[in-house]
Structure 1
């Protein structure tokens, strides 16, 4: 099956969705990888890292900063406009393009790199949007060097925890899960990561697994998340698909927007999201 035969990215590349992703950095979204990265750099300061599905590039740029001065990040995505935004962000962070970081349009199912090319392959919140995660993992492993690392992190849509439990936010959560499933995405990606990598041919002894969290509780973080969700309800692909599939209505969307506004303004409001994490060490030949 070619990349053209797979389902499209569920939530699209609307500005509201990309803005939501810009909160992410290596520190808050790839903490399981960072100790391994630091260890690898002690013996190989010229690491080559592939970041798949980079979005606006905030994680990519923060990874590239950790590889300075001689390491390199190649960041890929399926959207030209998103890659341009990621490039602009990298330049704003003082990185040199293409010396420290470069960008390339690519599908995770057909990575345009030779076998065993990268020391580290990283993907964050990519597999949950795919109809076939296992072939994608096999492709990531193909381009990873023997002895190299594959780093994956996926949220688990069934493990959202928010307060206050407003009925409109419960409805929103149901909507986002059902839209993802309607597009053949994965709502339990976090808990399935180990299973997926084993199905891709990895032996269990080569897998390090864990769980990490995101927490949106401080006023600034609540505002960032809430406004992003409101924009997605107003203009994003989720609104369009939700209405097309009769999962919600215009009135329902407005009620969810009011719910996020109330949540943002509550000092006791918080949201926790559980993410599955794995590090795969590719065996030496």
Structure 2
């Protein structure tokens, strides 16, 4: 019997995914790239599975690293976001389906054979799940023996703002509470190693580290701030926060004003810490 898991309630509306489009392999999967380049030297026909691809900006930049012979298969749970990702791939000159293809799939039940992919990648996926360990086990199942699994997760408790506006601190608290209310994870970055070991991987097979995002340059502040304002004005975050009694209409407008002030400040910064792991699947490890 299929286990019921918490749905991805925040959805794929532009208000939710706009800031995801800032992400690329270089700023969001840098820990994977040296391993990718090394793997390509021995196998130019690498098959990479990108789970939870969203608007596809990381998937597409990974596919560009695999040219001309490698292939990325990007998955997500919603048709509309996969269409946007496909359009982005085409706009960047990638051949679909030769260089990159797209398929609807749940991380809990990947519709692929055992030992199918050389590399399995997921970015900011586990934080939305009520059972990250089961998802990692499924990634291991479809990864080839000797292959790699690359994971990166934000740690929502390790955000730092300047200026430290009270309205932005309230916004951060609201984000965390809504994530937890939907069965998600607020400390994913620091728990990655524990989750991977819970999936049956020995510690010596895990390369762990932390990476950061910094939003401080004017364009980056504008990109992030406008995306957060759109979430507050039209997104699921506003609806859920008010329904749960975590904020009010007035509170939402206070947060919007806070983001506008933050965007306008030349000394403004936002730092976010992300946990990162590279997992090498043992050549002798059979699929679960």
Partner of 2:227: 228
State the 1:14 CA deviation: 1.3
Name the TM-score, length of structure 2 as normaliser: 0.98
In structure 1, what is the equivalent of residue 213 of structure 2? 214
Which stretches in structure 1 are left out of the alignment for 5+ residues? Answer: none
Cα distance in 1, alignment partners of residues 39 and 129 from structure 2: 30
Q: CA RMSD in A?
A: 0.8
Q: CA deviation at 1:20?
A: 1.1
Q: What does residue 181 of structure 2 align with?
A: 182
SS in 2 for 1:119: strand
Mapped partners of 2:278, 2:9: distance in 1: 26
Correspondences of 1:125-136 after superposition (within 5 Å): 125-136=124-135
Aligned runs of 1:164-183 on 2, under 5 Å?
164-183=163-182
Q: CA deviation at 1:11?
A: 2.2
Instruction: Say whether residues 1:40 and 2:39 are aligned partners.
Output: yes
**Hey, what does 2:258 align to over in structure 1?**
259
> Quick check: 1:49–1:119 contact (8 Å CA) kept in 2?
yes
Deviation at 1:10, TM superposition (A): 4.1
Stretches of 4+ moved more than 4 A in 1?
Answer: none
1:88 counterpart residue number: 87
Determine whether 1:246 maps to 2:245. yes
Deviations 1:197-252 (A, max 9, x none): 00000000100000000000000000000000000001111111111111111110
1:146 CA displacement: 0.2
Give the distance between the partners of 1:152 and 1:236, measured in 2 at CA: 27
- TM-score, with normalisation over the residues of structure 1? 0.99
How much has 1:193 moved relative to structure 2?
A: 0.1
Q: Secondary structure at the match of 2:22?
A: coil
Post-superposition Cα deviations, 1:45-91, rounded to whole Å, max 9, x if no partner, equal 00000000000000000000000000000000001000000000000
Q: More displaced, 67-76 or 7-16?
A: 7-16
